[in-house]
Amino acid sequence: MPQTPAWWFDGSTPPWWARIASTGYAGLIALRRSAYRRGLLRQYHPGVPVIVVGNIVAGGSGKTPLVLAVIERLRAAGYTPGVASRGYGRNDARTPRWVDVGMDAALCGDEPLLIAGISGAKVRVDRDRVAAAQALREVGCDVVVCDDGLQHYRLARDIEIEVQDQRRHYGNGRLLPAGPLREPIERAADCEFRVLNFGAVPHPVACETTEWPMRLKIGVVRPLHTGARLSMEAFRDQRVHAVAGIGEPERFFSMLREAGIGVVPHAFPDHHAYTPEDFSFGSQLHILMTEKDAVKCASFALPSAWVVPISAQLPESFWSALLSRLPHR
């Protein structure tokens, strides 16, 4: 994914060409939404509930930890969830496929591989999310969770969850490419749930009744290859190389700093395809990386690399409200 333009979030004026392109993009969005509302473009429903977890801002907002938490809660409530994803960044985007643990991320995308490995749920990658949802139903999934896809209107959905970075919000409020918005801000009002990602803030401030706070929590750190697991406390007061190829690398770096760790940051583009040369840092410090990065580095000889798991925590009232919108089990 290209580097985020500075003007999206720093308050500066976007260049003239971006403002002109943004106007054209707004027109295309309006035409497309109108076509679906008027029935000129059809929507298809797979026959089982569909939950879409996405955002209207380009880049990372914390969708993947929330998708994993949704899968866990659905299972606990008696459902058999499956995940539909486009599989951003995979080499052969035209070929639908099931995601298997241990698969090369280049075949399926890093986020689907991470979700499959952690959750054990059926994960289907397909540019056509309708076809992905139908395939999941055919193998016994009774709820489809879409990893991203608020803008994929062809798939009819029962619940939409918008995830928003509490720090960056909607940036300058402009549409692409003048700003970070995939759709106008008003689109967020269509979503039944709006989740604000507060990162590692211990006690998120109270939100409006239409918004829900999400906190990210670091779990037990594991070695990239083999060895004993460690608590984050084991790295306190040490300097480490911190690696993050995610939408918002600074969020990961900040979490490590808040744990008392001296961070030498190494930010890579979102969905970066790593090579061993990327880890030639010139000093023999421990390397801490996100789980999303780790699935693409398992074949590298990195004996000093550690994987930092992150989970999403939300109020119990959020889960009660979400499950109340689904058929009871």
Q: Binding site membership for ATP: which residues?
A: 57-64
3-state secondary structure 92-139: CCCCCEECCCCCCHHHHCHHHHHHHHHHCCEEEECCCHHHHHHHHHHC
Q: State whether residue 196 is helix, strand or coil.
A: strand
DSSP string, 204-253: PPP--TTEEEEEEEE--BEESSSS--B-GGGGTT-EEEEEE-SS-HHHHH
Give the separation between CA 261 and CA 268, rounded to whole angstroms. 20
CB neighbours of 209 closer than 8 A, spacing ≥ 6?
none
Find the length of the chain.
329
Residues belonging to the binding site are 57-64
Q: State whether residue 191 is helix, strand or coil.
A: coil
In what order do the strands lie in the sheet containing 262-267? 222-223, 305-308, 287-290, 239-244, 262-267
Report CA dihedral (55, 58, 61, 67) to the nearest 10 degrees: 50
Give the separation between CA 168 and CA 218, rounded to whole angstroms. 21
Q: State whether residue 89 is helix, strand or coil.
A: coil
